[in-house]
Amino acid sequence: MRPLGEPLPPPLRAHGGPLADLFARWLRQRDDAAHAPEKAALTRALQALSEDEIRSHARRQAAIAMRGGWSHWSWAVPAATVASLLGLPMTDLDAQRRLHGRLRAMAAGLAATADQAAVKTAGEAATALLDALDEAEQRAPDAPLQWTLLRHAAPSRWSDRATFAANRLALIWQSHEAGAALLGHALLRMRETRRALARDELLTIAREGGAVRNTRRVDPNGDVVLVPLAGTDHPFGDGAHRCPGQGLTLGTLVAALTWLSEQADLRLPAPGAPLTLANMDIPQFPDQNQEPSP
Ligand code: HEM
């Protein structure tokens, strides 16, 4: 949701490029007449995903990510699971690290202080992901989330193909930081419970601020107002912009944490300082904080 007359944040307005084009098409940033029908189609596509498919892709990504250490694990699993469900070849650690690198480049380009170089690099990372998703659509149209998108939210249901493609990529982007925040806080809670967490326990952590703490709305004067989410019953937002990815997120995290709890000699990670963003804290588990494995 952008202030009236300002569809782009200043760095994107100043430097333009592929990321600026994507940002302006994202449902998250729009309140135009096409938002509601496009959002409804996207929501149907996400709801059509089966729990079994989410579980098997999440477990596979959790197993691959464990080879990269804890800091990689809590960052990689949410976004890599969505990418895998979209048919991207998330078959090894390098693929997960490449995806993570591109998402961090996008984050740097979306930062309030982003300079021309950061916006350019972010645009290249986003373009590489758009191309990979187009290639996956040709090579693996039966990948679970590609299939439900093409079935319930095909390009013909969007203003144009570019808006379809931008919001398909947004599924990976939206799962990235928010997913790492909730998974990181779940790992901290698992240090106490010594067992996997259930959906309702993850929702409790999100309500307590362990996911996205606030969101934005545009008031009748066209000004952006902050809407608290932490401490409310709506950690995934509410109304027209409510998160359509709640079910996918909770299914992914429960599956990954259950896989984790089945591992022998499991030593849960020791946290370092969190990455603090404007609307969330993302726990970090730097390798140097971890006890050497026996
Ligand atoms: C822990 C993980 C996640 C959290 C905490 C989260 C939270 C949120 C929140 C708070 C919003 C804004 C809602 C509002 O302003 O009312 C949002 C929007 C959105 N989320 Fe999520 N999300 C998560 C994961 C995901 C995933 C996995 C997907 C997709 C696969 C997703 C897709 C979206 C989309 C498309 C929007 C924009 C909706 C719109 O503006 O109409 N999110 N999310």
- 235 Cα nearest atom in ligand 1: 10
Predicted confidence (pLDDT) per residue in 22-67, tens digit:
999 999 999 999 999 999 999 999 999 999 999 999 999 999 999 9
> How far does the centroid of ligand 1 lie from the alpha carbon of residue 74, in Å?
18
Residue nearest to atom 20 of ligand 1 (CA): 243
Beta pairing partners, 180: none
283 to each of 59, 60, 166, how far by Cα in Å?
A: 21, 22, 28
Question: Is the separation of the CB atoms in 257 and 231 below 8 Å?
Answer: no
Q: Which of 67, 212, 142, 286 is nearest to 77 (CA)?
A: 67
| C-alpha 105 – ligand 1 centre gap (Å) | 20
Domains, the chain, with CATH or none = 10-282 (1.10.630.10)
Among residues 137, 226, 174, 154, the alpha carbon closest in space to that of 27 is found at 174
> 153 and 108 in contact (C-beta within 8 Å)?
no
Phi, psi of 4 (to 5 degrees): -55, 130
pLDDT band at 294 (very low <50, low <70, confident <90, very high): low
Tokens matching residue 1: 């949701």
Q: Is 28 in the pocket of ligand 1 (CB under 6 A)?
A: yes
Given a cut of 70, whether residue 291 has pLDDT beyond it is no
Please tell me if the CB atom of residue 41 comes closer than 6 angstroms to any atom of ligand 1.
Answer: no
Cα-to-centroid distance, 244 and ligand 1 (Å): 6
Q: Is the pTM of this model over 0.85?
A: yes
For 24-55, b/e burial (b = at least 16 CB within 10 A) is: ebebbbbeeeeeeebbebbbbbbeebeeebbb
Q: Which of 1, 174, 207, 280 to mutate to test the pocket of ligand 1 (most atoms within 8 A of CB)?
A: 174
> pLDDT tens, 143-175?
999 999 999 999 999 999 999 999 999 999 999
